[in-house]
Amino acid sequence: MTRKSDSVAEAKAAPKAGAGPVTTLRLGRIKATVWENTADNRTFYNVTFSRAYLDEEKRFHDTDSFGRDDLLLVAKLADEAHTFIYKRLAEQKSGAAE
């Protein structure tokens, strides 16, 4: 597993919608994954949060449990995910208007 910067959130865009997450944002061990869904001709987004950890055998796993020191990073990633979603919706709206 590659190591990510602790100070900067990094995003990876998925190749096509519906095939996987739209983007994954990271701050250290904390990850926010943005998912795009469509129902009734509407697009909506969900975000999942996880924390990576190493087990006793040095294997990486994810959990959805966060400690006190993780909460500010979760909040920052929630803000970044919110901004990402609103920008994406604005791009889709402007693309539909053309």
**pLDDT means over runs of 10, the chain (98 residues):** 44 56 98 96 95 97 97 98 96 82
What span, in angstroms and rounded, lies between the C-alpha atoms of 36 and 22? Answer: 6
| pTM score above 0.85 | no
Q: What is the pLDDT of residue 97?
A: 72
Q: What is the pLDDT of residue 2?
A: 41
Helix, strand or coil for residue 28? coil
**Phi, psi torsion values for 57, nearest 5 degrees:** -95, 15
